[in-house]
């Protein structure tokens, strides 16, 4: 694992991201990938992947992806708006997310997140707008 991914994994400690079992798996220019288990932590009462868990994965990937594109000594990235279309149910295994930058601006960023199941079928499609703010 590269040093940036190792550092990013530390950001998970004692957060919802760690509790849900979200792991970051790959990053590059304008993208970040991760995976999340579909189990008792991420199920809704009918035994399917909870839509809120999908949104948590999407927001995690988009937010961290956005943070990688700014100087974190001066700026912070915070969620401004997120939407999600839940396409397909998942009962077990893993889901995989890939967040891709659509727009990287000075004060806002827009990220698209595609979440797929283990066979590559689309589970959720999300878009998030991130505000880039000055640190106080």
Indicate which residues carry an active-site annotation: 59
Distance CA 43, CA 49 (A): 5
| Beta-sheet strand order (sheet of 75-86) | 23-28, 31-38, 93-104, 108-116, 122-134, 75-86
What dihedral angle (degrees, nearest 10) is formed by the CA atoms of 110, 32, 52, 102?
A: 20
Question: Which residues pair with residue 77 across a beta bridge?
Answer: 132
Two tokens, residue 49: 């992947």
Backbone angles phi, psi at 58, to 5 degrees: -60, -45
- What's the half-sphere exposure (Cβ side, CA atoms, 13 Å) at 102? 14
């Amino acid at each position: 694992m590269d040093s940036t991914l190792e550092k990013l994994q530390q950001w998970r400690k004692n957060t919802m991201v760690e509790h849900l079992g979200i792991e970051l798996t790959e990053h590059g220019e304008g993208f970040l990938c991760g995976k999340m288990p579909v189990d008792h932590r991420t199920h809704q009462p009918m035994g399917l992947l909870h839509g809120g868990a999908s949104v948590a994965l999407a927001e995690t990937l988009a937010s961290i992806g956005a943070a990688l594109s700014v100087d974190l000594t001066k700026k912070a990235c915070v969620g401004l708006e997120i939407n999600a279309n839940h396409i397909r149910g998942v009962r077990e295994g893993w889901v995989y997310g890939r967040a891709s930058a659509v727009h990287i601006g000075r004060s806002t960023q827009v990220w698209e997140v595609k979440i797929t199941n283990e066979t590559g079928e689309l589970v959720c499609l999300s878009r998030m707008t991130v505000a880039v703010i000055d640190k106080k």
